[in-house]
Amino acid sequence: MKIYTKTGDAGKTSLFGGSRVSKNNLRIESYGTVDELNSWLGLVRDNASNTHTRDILKKIQDRLFTIGAALAADPKKPKLKKPDLLEDDVMLLEKEIDRMEQSLQPLTVFILPGGHPFVSNIHIARCVSRRAERLAVALSLKEKMEPLIITYLNRLSDYLFVLARWTGKNLKAEEIRWEPGRTR
């Protein structure tokens, strides 16, 4: 099977289930952003030295494929067989957030993303997760959608924020406080 089909050359693509839509359709933007997020998480996973973190990130990437399949599915065909996103998937993220936060100082100020290139990559993934969430919310206002998708993406951005802090601490990277109100 060839990778190119030429069926998208006129700016349309097929949803899972067969309907053709424009490539700038909100549904396409949504699952395309989830795919972008998954790629960023692949980079983060490839750079993680901790086996547990790599394992969790692989589970998250799997869940993102599940979310992508749900978003790519034709809403006019609700009986399509798709993998399930479960409440347990959200609970895993919460459990990991709680585990990492045990070794972190509570935040009392905003911090600037960065401190180490690896930490910065995690923050980029966090921002892409937030964008995926915003697009999923916009889509949910137009079409019926599984609400757990939005919950998962929201919790995932929280997980990535804490992972960035936890990774920075383990790398002994400085957390740079944002100090509002400075004037020149």
Q: Where are the domains of the chain?
A: 16-174
Which residues have C-beta within 8 Å of that of residue 159, sequence separation ≥ 6? 60, 93, 96, 97
Assess whether pLDDT exceeds 60 at residue 183: no
Q: What is the DSSP string of 55-117?
A: HHHHHHHHHHHHHHHHHHB-TT-TT---PPP-HHHHHHHHHHHHHHHTTSPPP-S-EES-SSH
How far is Cα 132 from Cα 138, in angstroms, rounded to an integer?
Answer: 10
Q: What is the pLDDT of residue 29?
A: 87
Residue 177 tokens, joined: 């406080």
The yes or no reply on domain 16-174 and CATH 3.40.50.300 is no
Assess whether pLDDT exceeds 60 at residue 83: yes
Q: Tens digits of per-residue pLDDT, 154-181?
A: 999 999 999 999 999 999 999 988 888 7
pTM of the model: 0.89
Q: What is the pLDDT of residue 78?
A: 65
92 compared with 32, residue with greater pLDDT: 92
